[in-house]
Amino acid sequence: MHTIAALLAQQPEATDQPRRIVVTTHTMPDGDAIGSSFAFAYVAQLLGAEVRLYLYDGVPPAFRWLCPPCPVVTRLAELQDFTPHLLVTLDCGDAKRPGPELAAFFLEGTRPFPAWEDVCSVNIDHHVGNPCFATHNWVEPGKAATSEMVGDLAEYLHLPLQGGLGEGVYLGLMTDTGKFSFPNTTAHTMHMAARIVEQGLCVAEFTAHHENNWSLGRMRLWGELMHSITLHHNGRIASCVVQQDHLQRNHATKDDLEGFAAQLRCIGGVEVAAFMREDGPNRSKLSLRSVGHRNIRDVAAHFGGGGHKNAAGAEFTLPPQEALEQVLGKLVETWE
Ligand SMILES: [Mn+2]
């Protein structure tokens, strides 16, 4: 954290121009991705930097009530002559997570533009097994959320967790801990949330914005999917498959599926929830969720994915039902 703080404070050599920073996070951003990247952008701006957010998938509708701290672009070309000194990734467990336009940059060092020759990269994340793909890496798997790390950084720099900065940190804390209920929730997490509330965040208003915003289509989609849930392994595994036509008939999008895997885990006795989404012809995406002691990260990793002990995922080049069969097989085979 000290290195990152020092990097942010540093002025570019021989110029009085502000430091330029591109902040990014993973594709299909969740609450921690949006929360940590927004909050980091606020921190950088408070330190005098000029900042752009690069979000390959844009800001999902569920988070559009939050005020972005700076201009948001969805393609690198939109940055035009904004050549950054620093490129900062947040909540990205590996080099491919920021999206296809930056994969070659992190994997092979290929610059997307010649002017990016001297761009220095920073990776701030809390995923176990993060391969430290950037020039500077600050990875703390013990942290509940990447947003918690940004909160630590802000407080280390004596910046109050208020306004948009507080909202961003709170969003990440709340979503990555399942509203302060998952095993990753620590006293430090709750103290930080309390300080944000002390500094002006209204919990009821925030929750209303964040939760009471479902479309009728989303509600109907969840209803339909709930009817199709299957239990396996004596009721200890719950599974569900969502196909493209589920979305179409309910006028819903894949963003409307956010949180469904965690909901599956609410069934009494279920220790692992496996949710498989059809993503295209022969393409599927898995979300795995588990209760406290049960680690599903290794199963996700077996299929080339990753994540955390209790929340992980993977992608498949198979139709969803076939992919699910493989996952269920692996879960039972490795069950202890
Ligand atoms: Mn996270």
Q: How many domains does the chain have?
A: 2
Kindly give the distance from the C-alpha atom of residue 190 to the centroid of ligand 1, in angstroms, as a whole number.
16
Kindly give the distance from the C-alpha atom of residue 65 to the centroid of ligand 1, in angstroms, as a whole number.
20
In this prediction, residue 11 has a pLDDT band, given cuts at 50, 70 and 90, of low
Percent of the chain clearing pLDDT 90 (strictly above): 88
Q: What does the pLDDT read at residue 15?
A: 65
Kindly give the distance from the C-alpha atom of residue 146 to the centroid of ligand 1, in angstroms, as a whole number.
5
The residues that bridge with 120 in the sheet, in sequence order, are 86
Kindly give the distance from the C-alpha atom of residue 17 to the centroid of ligand 1, in angstroms, as a whole number.
33
Is 40 in the same domain as 166?
yes
Kindly give the distance from the C-alpha atom of residue 279 to the centroid of ligand 1, in angstroms, as a whole number.
22
pTM (2 d.p.): 0.87
Instruction: Summarize pLDDT for 131-177 with one digit per residue, the tens.
Output: 999 999 999 999 999 999 999 999 999 999 999 999 999 999 999 99
Kindly give the distance from the C-alpha atom of residue 308 to the centroid of ligand 1, in angstroms, as a whole number.
9
| pLDDT, mean over the chain | 95
Kindly give the distance from the C-alpha atom of residue 176 to the centroid of ligand 1, in angstroms, as a whole number.
6
The residues that bridge with 289 in the sheet, in sequence order, are 273, 311
Is 10 in the same domain as 151?
yes
Q: What does the pLDDT read at residue 206?
A: 96
Is 185 in the same domain as 298?
no
Q: Where are the alpha helices (DSSP H) in the chain?
A: 2-9, 31-46, 100-108, 146-156, 163-176, 187-198, 203-211, 216-227, 244-249, 260-264, 297-302, 320-333
CATH number of the domain encompassing residue 23: 3.90.1640.10
- The residue out of 209, 236, 257 marking a domain boundary is 209
Kindly give the distance from the C-alpha atom of residue 307 to the centroid of ligand 1, in angstroms, as a whole number.
9
DSSP state, 312? E
- The residue out of 166, 193, 209 marking a domain boundary is 209
Which positions ≥6 away from 253 have C-beta within 8 Å? 247
CATH number of the domain encompassing residue 238: 3.10.310.30
On the question of pLDDT at 62 being above 90, the answer is no
Instruction: Summarize pLDDT for 310-322 with one digit per residue, the tens.
Output: 999 999 999 999 9
- The domain of 87 spans 2-209
In this prediction, residue 13 has a pLDDT band, given cuts at 50, 70 and 90, of low
Kindly give the distance from the C-alpha atom of residue 175 to the centroid of ligand 1, in angstroms, as a whole number.
8
Kindly give the distance from the C-alpha atom of residue 2 to the centroid of ligand 1, in angstroms, as a whole number.
21
Is 189 in the same domain as 51?
yes
Q: Give the other-Cβ count within 10 Å of 181's Cβ.
A: 9
Kindly give the distance from the C-alpha atom of residue 13 to the centroid of ligand 1, in angstroms, as a whole number.
34
Is 107 in the same domain as 21?
yes
Among 276, 275, 224, 230, which residue's Cα sits nearest to residue 252?
A: 224
Yes or no: say if 287 and 307 are a contact pair by the CB < 8 Å rule. no
Is 186 in the same domain as 284?
no
Is 228 in the same domain as 171?
no
- The residue out of 173, 194, 209 marking a domain boundary is 209
